[in-house]
Amino acid sequence: MRACISGGLLAPVLAALTTVLGAVAGCTLGPNYHPAPPTPGAAGPLVSVSPSAETSAEPPDDWWRLYHDPTLDRLLDEAFKANTDLKAAEANLQAASAALDIARDAFLPQTKAEIGSTRGRDGLTDEILELTGRRPQTIWIHEAALSLGYELDYLGRVRRSVESARADAEAVAAVHDSVKITVAAETARSYAQICAFGEQIEVAKRSLDIVSREADITVHRNEAGAGSQFDVVRAQQLVAQVRASIPPLEGQRRAAVFQLAALLGRAPSMAPTEVNPCVLPPHLSDLVPVGDGTGLLKRRPDVRQADRRMASATARIGIATADLYPRITLKALYGTVTADINEFTAPDSVIWGIGPSVSWTFPNMAGPRARVRAAKASAAAALANFDSVVLKALKETEQSLSTYGSELERRQALSDAQQKAHQAFDMAHNQFLAGSLSNLDLLTTEQALVAADAAVAISDTALIQDQIAVFKALGGGWRGVEVGRR
């Protein structure tokens, strides 16, 4: 903190004021804000990047357009216009901008106009009447006055207040951007879920067709004297199991549609119907652009929010420190006071005055000093929170990349297994018709085929969800909102 004030607080008030005014003209109390030093290891490349899946290119703000899905683009455009959480964030941003304007208003003279009439006894008039030997009277008092006050910001209290309010407004703008990131990711996630559940339903229906056909063959063979009724029951049991897997998927798909409707600001009865035909999740044909640690921390609004909260807390140290010293205000008054409405504009009715006003919490300084300590503690907490947010941003990104990379490998292995399951089923089907394979072996092969197809579809669902989680962790999906400066 700058040593702006000379002289002891216990000195006489007049001597202290003289010292203050002579020594601190144009001074700003409190520490100036400086960005926190970079977190070690944060600026380098992301450690979980796989060259086969990601690239170090900076991700675009509108990352969802990388999927080249017109329906997804339209849904995101609608969500940004109609989402209720985003509307609330925009209203909060407007309120923060208004609070900044209120703080700036302290730079201007504070004016007040009053006019009125009162019937009663005026203490000063009664005193004059008594001095002249007359009794007090009940009279009308008519008055009008314009007062003006201007705080001399010689300690920078007002400047620090505006600095804190601006940083708070910028923090709220960062919150707005965080909400937009969430809206973008959740809208894309809901749409992807709808499509992915559509894929799982289609896969389940194809599996149902396969096992139903094989069950019919088993029934016909039994009727022809081959096989047993036990084989028929087992085949029909598999059909029932596969059929039972479809209703839950359809229910989950409808739930995802209602979730999407809420994100779009729609009632369930007005849920979007254009998503119903989708049976394949959005596909990214290119590598995922992830950038590096430096770019990540610049994109993440939560990091920017924590930085602005730290700047605001730093400025509040100066505000609290200024309360240790006198607050000086220049005041002026002009108006008229009269007991006779006809003399309202008479020269003798005019009142006026001009001069300084000094306000000082003296000699009890325990409260102001405690507020300084509290402000410093809040600034230390804001710094610790900033470090925590940076680590969280890095952690979330690395976790999402790691999860996505693992699911990519799993999806490839499941695809290989699916291919083998189809080959095995074709071979088993032919051998079963030729009479060289038992019904149990065929049934086992059918179960493996159904499981393999379902696993691939489930992996596709997880893959698109993990991919969207990567984009969300990277901090894309917003366009910065500039808070006005004057």
User: How do residues 89-118 score in pLDDT, each as one tens digit?
Assistant: 999 999 999 999 999 999 999 999 999 998
Of how many residues is the chain composed? Answer: 486
Residue 18 pLDDT > 60:
no
Rounded to the nearest 10 degrees, the angle between the axes of helix 439-473 and helix 157-223 is 170
Average pLDDT over residues 29-42: 91
Mean pLDDT calculated for residue range 370-398: 96
Choose between 286 and 163: higher pLDDT.
163
Is 80 exceeded by the pLDDT of residue 11?
Answer: no
pLDDT tens, residue by residue, 305-319 = 999 999 999 999 999
pLDDT for 9 = 39
Separation between Cα atoms, residue 313 and residue 185, nearest integer Å? 31
Nearest Cα residue to 328 out of 107, 153, 105, 168: 153
pLDDT, average across residues 259-274? 96
Q: How far is CA 313 from CA 103, 209, 316, 379, 386, in A?
A: 15, 66, 5, 5, 12
- Looking at residue 362, what is its pLDDT? 86
Strands (E), 300-383: 327-338, 350-359
Which residues are registered as beta bridge partners of 241? none
Residues forming a β-bridge with 112: 147
List Cβ neighbours of 219 (8 Å cut-off, separation of 6 or more): 232, 235
- The mean-pLDDT minimum among 22-31, 176-185, 253-262, 385-394 falls in 22-31
Question: Any bridge partners for residue 336, and if so which?
Answer: 144, 350
Q: pLDDT > 90: what percent of the chain? A: 77
**Contact, 478 vs 177, CB < 8 A?**
yes
CB count, 10 Å around CB of 313? Answer: 23
Cis, bond preceding 247 (omega within 30 deg of 0): no
Give bridge partners of residue 199 from the DSSP assignment.
none
- pLDDT tens digits, 36-74: 998 898 888 999 999 999 999 999 999 999 999 999 999
| Opening angle at CA 432, ends 431 and 435, nearest 5 | 85
Residue 423 gets which letter from DSSP?
H
pTM: 0.85
Q: What does the pLDDT average to over 373-382?
A: 97
Residue 291, pLDDT above cutoff 90: yes
Would you state the pLDDT for residue 339?
83
Q: Environment class of residue 425 by beta-carbon count within 10 Å: exposed (0-12), middle (13-18) or buried (19+)?
A: buried
Query: In sequence order, what DSSP letters do the residues of 151-200 get, joined into one string?
Result: E--TTSHHHHHHHHHHHHHHHHHHHHHHHHHHHHHHHHHHHHHHHHHHHH
Task: Give 51-108 as a DSSP string.
Answer: TTTEESSPPPTTGGGGG--HHHHHHHHHHHHH-HHHHHHHHHHHHHHHHHHHHHHTTS
Instruction: Mark out the alpha helices in 224-244 (DSSP H runs).
Output: 229-244
Residue 7 reports pLDDT greater than 60: no
pLDDT attached to residue 484: 43
In this predicted structure, the answer to whether residue 373 has a pLDDT above a threshold of 90 is yes
Q: Is residue 25's pLDDT more than 80?
A: no
All domains of the chain in start order, with CATH: 27-107+154-321+389-473 (1.20.1600.10)
Average pLDDT of every residue of the chain: 90
224 vs 217: CA distance, rounded Å: 10
What is the pLDDT confidence band of residue 208, given thresholds at 50, 70 and 90? very high
What pLDDT is recorded for position 479?
66
Q: With bands split at pLDDT 50, 70 and 90, how would you rate the model's confidence at 225?
A: confident
Q: Is the pLDDT score of 302 beyond 90?
A: yes
Do residues 271 and 258 make contact, with C-beta atoms less than 8 angstroms apart? yes
Q: What pLDDT score was predicted for residue 126?
A: 74
The pLDDT of residue 227: 80
pLDDT tens-place string over residues 137-195:
888 888 999 999 999 999 999 999 999 999 999 999 999 999 999 999 999 999 999 99
Task: Give the pLDDT mean for 232-245.
Answer: 95
pLDDT at 4 over 50: no
